[in-house]
Structure 1
Amino acid sequence: MHQNQDIFRFAAAAALTCAAIGAQAADWSDTSMGVRWGTKFAEPYNPQDIEKTIVNFTHASGYKYGSNFLNVDFLMSDGKDSNAQEIYVVYRHTLDLGKVTGKSFAFGPVKGLGLTAGFDVNTKNDPGYSSKKRMVVAGPTFMVDVPAGFLNVGVYALWESNKPVGIADRYSYDVHPMLNLAWGIPVGNTGLSFEGFLNYIGDKGKNEFGGPTSPETNLDMTLFYDVSPHIGASKNSFRVGVGYQYWRNKFGNPHSVPGSLAKTPMVRADYHF
């Protein structure tokens, strides 16, 4: 019961964050609700393929000096993961140094430079580990000049902690680096869009049980198709897509750990408003 209350508290906190973002004078914004589903998700120390349904709320907006990004995932597992429920919240704010200073930071393929800060927070009510992750993220973001859409490359430091079942006090890992690529590239005038992210995260020292950690790679990509013109809706309101996630050494667990490697096809749909 306590863990379910924890999930609801994080949902409420996410809603308050959304309200704070919406209160800013945005030059542009995009808000969506989506769902994705797959049958080959993985969790460390669980050798079975897991079916999950993930409902997400996403908000992105830009204002005079930068941009905001918020994503809230509500993940629901099948019985192979104890029918667990999880809330995972990601927030990033990027301050555009060119807009702040009035100077150009362009060089080579890079059109702009930003300073990004934010956090990841999760809570999960599975009986085995019961993650309660807290992570602060900060570092530079390089905005790459692409013909359409966006491509951002971030080099960040991560301050991460967790307090799973069996640990009396919150455990902090070593500060560790992350290379992040995030993109959204329309494919001409086809109605298709290729979107996703790639995180390469360095090892974070010993885990909370004294074992080793390993560098992890998390690739999540989707090819969306805009079905809006076929149902009389405005452009990019309704989209469907196929996605794929490759996650090696999930959460820093070495490759020898069962369930530390995920190769997950997904189907997706979202509604933008």
Structure 2
Amino acid sequence: MKNFRSAAFLLLAASCAGAVHAADWSDTSLSYRYGEKFSEPYNGEDITKHILNFSHVSGYKYGKNFFSIDYLISDKMDPSAVGARDGAHEAYAVYRHTLDLGKIMDRNLAFGPVRGVGITAGFDINSKTDAGYNSKKRMLVAGPTLMFDVPGFLDVSALVLSESNAPFNGFTQTSTSRYRYDTHGMLTAAWGIPFTLGIPLSFEGFANYIGTKGKNEFGGPTAVEINVDMQIMYDVSALVNAPKNTFKLGVEYQYWKNKFGNPERVSPGATARTPMVRAEYHF
């Protein structure tokens, strides 16, 4: 695991160094989404959340960057402390950088439906203030990516994950201890595909299949985690005389089974089925 963390860090550093080149294109957005059927492991209640997001994606000669940070505000069903009337707050950040190997080697690596092959590296970081777990996740990821030849984009990656957490819950860890899970794998896809049904629409989202990661902080088993988040977005820019893809409205659905690797059979609330509404502003 130590060797993987070192290799992933070096790959990420090299990717970031390459990313200092001027962007050929970029898209930055602010968004808001709302749902009333979120859930959390060991909670079991329906939780309402307001989620604010900042995202940036850009491409340059040899690859592309993606950065996103969610700020999640729960209602009192996910309290900030024992007996509190206010809900927990969470920040979750994701960064991915993909190097296009064909562009680096000046070779055409396309085959079948695949237009390119890349290497992806990045990280996840979160922090949450809640009544129990108080997650402080840190995760490095690295692995190969296939980029499919579709309208918009479809990227599929097989990543190796090195994950740790330093929760403070009064039972297993302190606020400074860091628990490391077994190195594990993830098959992940991300897409954004435009289409029309008389109006300009797009099908967007991601899907993660994450393997088990050994024992959890309590010494219990972890489970395979499935997280699918997808949305249909309507480009309403023309209705307000704005440039194409400036304003979008849509509906979103998330299916998250065994959230963070917590087995549904022993953890009420570990699986969520959450419809949402979503609004975006791109600039």
TM-score by shorter chain over 0.5: yes
Q: Secondary structure at the match of 2:39?
A: strand
Per-residue deviation, 1:30: 0.2
Mapped to 1, the partners of 2:42 and 2:204 lie a distance apart of: 30
Instruction: State how many pairs are aligned.
Output: 253
Where does structure 1 lack aligned partners over 5 or more consecutive residues?
A: 1-19
Q: How does 1:169-248 map to 2 (within 5 A)?
A: 169-188=177-196, 190-248=199-257
Per-residue CA deviations over 1:28-66 (Å, capped at 9, x if unaligned) read 000000000000001000010000000000000000100
2:159 to 145, 156, 163: 156
1:78 equivalenced with 2:75 (yes/no): yes
- Letter of the 1:216 counterpart: E
Per-residue CA deviations over 1:93-133 (Å, capped at 9, x if unaligned) read 00000110001211221110000000000000112000000
Per-residue deviation, 1:208: 1.1
1:249 equivalenced with 2:262 (yes/no): no
Mapped to 2, the partners of 1:61 and 1:21 lie a distance apart of: 13
Per-residue deviation, 1:87: 0.4
Q: Is the 8 A contact 2:193 2:204 kept in 1?
A: yes
- Letter of the 2:69 counterpart: V
Query: In the alignment, what sits opposite 1:263?
Result: 273
- Letter of the 2:269 counterpart: G
* Identity rate, percent: 62
Q: Secondary structure at the match of 1:266?
A: strand
Q: Secondary structure at the match of 1:230?
A: helix
Q: Is the 8 A contact 2:214 2:221 kept in 1?
A: yes
Per-residue CA deviations over 1:229-258 (Å, capped at 9, x if unaligned) read 011111110000000000001100111110
Mapped to 2, the partners of 1:23 and 1:200 lie a distance apart of: 31
1:139 equivalenced with 2:148 (yes/no): no
Mapped to 2, the partners of 1:173 and 1:63 lie a distance apart of: 35
Q: Is the 8 A contact 1:50 1:78 kept in 2?
A: yes
- Letter of the 1:120 counterpart: D
Per-residue deviation, 1:21: 10
Q: Is the 8 A contact 1:205 1:213 kept in 2?
A: yes
Q: Secondary structure at the match of 2:273?
A: strand
Per-residue deviation, 1:139: 0.2
2:59 to 56, 62, 65: 62
Query: In the alignment, what sits opposite 1:125?
Result: 129
Q: Is the 8 A contact 2:19 2:60 kept in 1?
A: no
Q: Secondary structure at the match of 2:111?
A: coil
Per-residue deviation, 1:177: 0.4
Query: In the alignment, what sits opposite 1:9?
Result: none
Per-residue deviation, 1:24: 4.0
Per-residue CA deviations over 1:167-214 (Å, capped at 9, x if unaligned) read 132000000000001000001473100000000000000001101000
* Change over 3 Å in CA distance of 1:247–1:62 after alignment to 2: same
User: Over aligned residue pairs, what C-alpha RMSD do you find?
Assistant: 1.4
Mapped to 2, the partners of 1:123 and 1:225 lie a distance apart of: 32
Q: TM-score, normalised by structure 1?
A: 0.90
Where has structure 1 moved over 2 Å in runs of 4 or more?
Answer: 20-24
Where does structure 2 lack aligned partners over 5 or more consecutive residues?
A: 1-16, 80-86
Q: TM-score, normalised by structure 2?
A: 0.87
Q: Is the 8 A contact 1:21 1:68 kept in 2?
A: no
